[in-house]
Structure 1
Amino acid sequence: MLKQIVPKTSGGAAAERLARICKVLAVDTRVRMLEMLAQRQMCVGALARALCITPAAVSQHLRVLRDAGAVVADKQGYFVHYRADLGTLAAWGRETAEFFTAGQEKPEAGESGAARPPAGHGEAAS
């Protein structure tokens, strides 16, 4: 009888954490907000104007990002300025890479290991 090869997995806790990260980043408006906040601090009004959405919508997205630890709020006078927490975002990138490469052998020198975009995302499907 042949032995079935079962891939090594990271476990339930890592999968749950990655799923939470993905839910935060699943909305393109939040990703665009993070991109802007990684460049400079902005208040709700400035984000609303830049994204062409209501201040209420910005506030809802910021709450999700803040609860996840992706943004930091700094009160300056009457306004609250937000900025991306680059340390958290970098950690999310590392966790994502580690999750998907758990149990895999590292590429040998000279092998790129570069990811290809899914078909329909920047390249013509073959």
Structure 2
Amino acid sequence: MKLCGVCILTDNAPRLSAFYEIVLKESPVVEGQHYGFDSAQLAVYNPGQVNVVNDKNMSIMFYVHDVLAEYERLTQAIPGIGITSPPERRPWGAYSFWFLDPDGNTVSFIEKKDLP
């Protein structure tokens, strides 16, 4: 079994998609209210006349080559981005930082130097 990807349900797909377009440095493939970021295996989707519950219980994690460079890029590109944990070495060894997307989901960038 292999993870296919992550789909974030939201009441405002265009707004959340615009945020992830900056974060991922990728333009989405758009079909109606479905925004697919293929290389990141992430989709943002508005399910229609559904109120998406604001209780968040997930975290989206991405490997990056350089945590500090990404931290600088995002804090400059998205004024007021909700950094919840600045870049630091975690007790389990990961070097990462965490921030919130516009819907309050936690996003982590984790340094991995040997990315393809």
TM-score greater than 0.5 by the shorter chain: no
Instruction: Give the TM-score normalised by structure 2.
Output: 0.25
- The structure with the largest helix share of the pair is 1
Query: Could you say which structure has the larger radius of gyration?
Result: 1
